[in-house]
Amino acid sequence: MWRLLNIMNKMKIINRTIYTERILPFVGKGIIKVLTGQRRVGKSCILQQLITDIQAKNPDANIVFINLEFEEFRPIKTETDLFDYLKDKFISNKDNYLFIDEVQDIVGFEHVLRSLQSKNTCDIFVTGSNAKMLSSELSTYLAGRYIEFHIHSLNYSEFLVFHKLLDTNQSLMLYLTYGGLPYLSMFSLTDEYVYEYLRNVYSTILLRDVVQRENIRNVDFLETLLLYVADNVGNLFSASNISKYLKSQRTEINTNQVINYLRLLSNAYIINKVGRVDVNGLKKFEIGEKYFFEDIGLRNCHVGFSLQRDIHKLIENAVFLHLQGLQYEVFVGKKDNLEIDFVAVKQGKRIYVQATYLLADENTQKREFGNLSSIQDNYPKYVVSLDEFYRQSDNEGIKHIHLREFLMKMSLD
């Protein structure tokens, strides 16, 4: 525990209140707090902030922290190892809190958590970097006993705080180029330093959370597939289309293998699958979806970044991440033969968003505004672009907004 505190104290911890304020109301409520998300998005630092907040209110609290990336905790590989380690760590006359970082690396961890939670031994917080942990281990053994908080990389407003930047177009381009991994605040924002770090993170996620965990043998195909997804961010496509493309590249992979590999990449939170729905009734379509990267910088470090070629992809990816960070369930919309870039749903309410680079001509304006005006309801509708001069909102309530302003909004109702 003290080693963690010493390491964290050397780094200036910036409180990501968008998450801590969601989690703190559940402290001491007898429910397991599970923080999920891609590696290096700052889950450990959020745990540290929670520990700080708990200790501020309860100085006598007994904190037990296990970080499986520290050498002293590597012998903890199974539920038996974990039980043995914890057997003398809790104090009977104190409030006990257990924090485990990257809990999915312990085989059978769910049995330990269920036992501790059932006996009310301690208040439990864990992090995990694989969605399969939720869909299998946790949901099977801990149904109704845990609550999930999905942690993302920095949103644009957090990016400005971490890097001590003003909200300018230059800052926005830095965000669209390098993404939002928190540790980047330790570097100068230049390609030489940032991309070297991002490539290492990219390799770690791919090898540890996909290749090793899932026993992948065809690593070359996995990397080729991820490159294809990176180059087609925001495009509608299907597994069969990817399979045809790979065959054109003399790579023989069937559709089921493509679907499985995409699922594994999504489980590791590298990419996000966004399904398509009919706007009229939110009926889901079985085919045709989009994929977006969990962190824009990880996408760019591997395929490069060209303003002319990629800016529209990155704008759309940034809009998706912002909607997801605001806890919307996000879909691609279809209205008759028209596409709506995003239909975002939360608590029974919707917003609609069209994302584009510039409203450069009348045809583009008709497409972006016309697609939204075809939707006959009163939910908020946005056209998001990089235009410096806004088109005035029309009588149908469609708002034209700069990407910077959109990304700074913490409420879109």
- What CATH number does the domain containing 107 carry? 3.40.50.300
Tens-digit pLDDT profile for residues 5-30: 454 444 568 999 999 999 999 999 99
- Residue 288 has what pLDDT? 84
Are 281 and 227 within one domain?
yes
Q: Which one of 120, 150, 180 terminates a domain?
A: 150
How many domains in the chain? 2
Confidence band for 130, pLDDT divided at 50, 70 and 90: confident
pTM over 0.85, yes/no? yes
Are 301 and 386 within one domain?
yes
Closest CA to 37 of 289, 352, 270, 314: 270
- Structural domain containing residue 376: 156-408
Are 139 and 177 within one domain?
no
User: SS3 sequence, 282-342?
Assistant: CEECCCCEEEEECCHHHHHHHHCCCHHHHHHHHHHHHHHHHHHHCCCEEEEEEECCEEEEE
Report whether pLDDT(126) > 50.
Answer: yes
The DSSP H or E segment spanning 173 is: helix 169-178
Confidence band for 95, pLDDT divided at 50, 70 and 90: very high
Confidence band for 307, pLDDT divided at 50, 70 and 90: confident
Tens-digit pLDDT profile for residues 342-390: 999 999 999 999 999 999 899 999 999 999 999 999 999 999 999 988 6
Closest CA to 152 of 321, 399, 363: 321
Cβ-in-10-Å burial (0-12, 13-18, 19+) of 264 comes to: buried
Are 169 and 34 within one domain?
no
Q: Which one of 115, 150, 185 terminates a domain?
A: 150
Report d(CA 98, CA 114) in Å as an integer. Answer: 13
Are 168 and 27 within one domain?
no
CB within 8 Å of 86: residues ≥ 6 apart: 64, 98, 112, 116
Report d(CA 24, CA 217) in Å as an integer. Answer: 42
pLDDT (average), residues 124-128? 96
Tokens 């390098």 appear where? 178
Are 70 and 130 within one domain?
yes
Task: For the chain, give the mean pLDDT.
Answer: 91
Please state, for a pLDDT cut of 70, what percent of the chain lies above it. 95
Report whether pLDDT(111) > 90.
Answer: yes
Confidence band for 391, pLDDT divided at 50, 70 and 90: low
- Residue 392 has what pLDDT? 60
Report d(CA 361, CA 42) in Å as an integer. Answer: 42
413 within some domain? no
399 within some domain? yes
SS3 131: coil
42 within some domain? yes
Are 72 and 169 within one domain?
no
Are 93 and 64 within one domain?
yes
Distances (CA, A) of 184 to 38, 156, 175, 181, 335: 15, 14, 11, 6, 40
Are 174 and 238 within one domain?
yes
| 387 contacts 315 by C-beta, under 8 angstroms | no
80 within some domain? yes
The DSSP bridge partners found for residue 125 are: 33, 99
Distances (CA, A) of 309 to 231, 232, 300, 305, 312: 10, 11, 12, 8, 8
Q: Which one of 125, 150, 175 terminates a domain?
A: 150
- Residue 393 has what pLDDT? 59
Report d(CA 183, CA 298) in Å as an integer. Answer: 13
CB within 8 Å of 410: residues ≥ 6 apart: 18, 157, 326
Q: How many CA atoms lie within 13 A of 283 on its CB side?
A: 6
Tokens 């100068």 appear where? 188
pLDDT (average), residues 175-192? 95
Report d(CA 263, CA 222) in Å as an integer. Answer: 11
Closest CA to 37 of 169, 176, 180: 180
Confidence band for 298, pLDDT divided at 50, 70 and 90: very high
Closest CA to 398 of 340, 313, 333: 340
- Residue 8 has what pLDDT? 47
User: SS3 sequence, 137-159?
Assistant: HHHHHCCCCEEEEECCCCCHHHH
Q: Pseudo-torsion of CA 343, 346, 44, 320, nearest 10°?
A: 10
134 within some domain? yes
Are 144 and 163 within one domain?
no
269 within some domain? yes
102 within some domain? yes
The DSSP bridge partners found for residue 353 are: 342, 382
pLDDT (average), residues 300-308? 85
Tens-digit pLDDT profile for residues 204-257: 999 989 999 899 999 999 998 999 999 999 999 877 788 778 778 777 788 888
Report d(CA 294, CA 288) in Å as an integer. Answer: 20
- Residue 7 has what pLDDT? 46
Are 117 and 164 within one domain?
no
- Residue 27 has what pLDDT? 97
**Which amino acid is residue 277, in one-letter code?**
V
Are 214 and 106 within one domain?
no
Confidence band for 2, pLDDT divided at 50, 70 and 90: very low
pLDDT (average), residues 69-81? 94
CB within 8 Å of 131: residues ≥ 6 apart: 36, 266, 267, 268, 269
Specify the pairing of strand 329-335 against strand 338-346: antiparallel
Tens-digit pLDDT profile for residues 250-281: 777 888 888 999 999 999 999 999 999 999 88
Report d(CA 198, CA 204) in Å as an integer. Answer: 10
Report d(CA 380, CA 391) in Å as an integer. Answer: 16
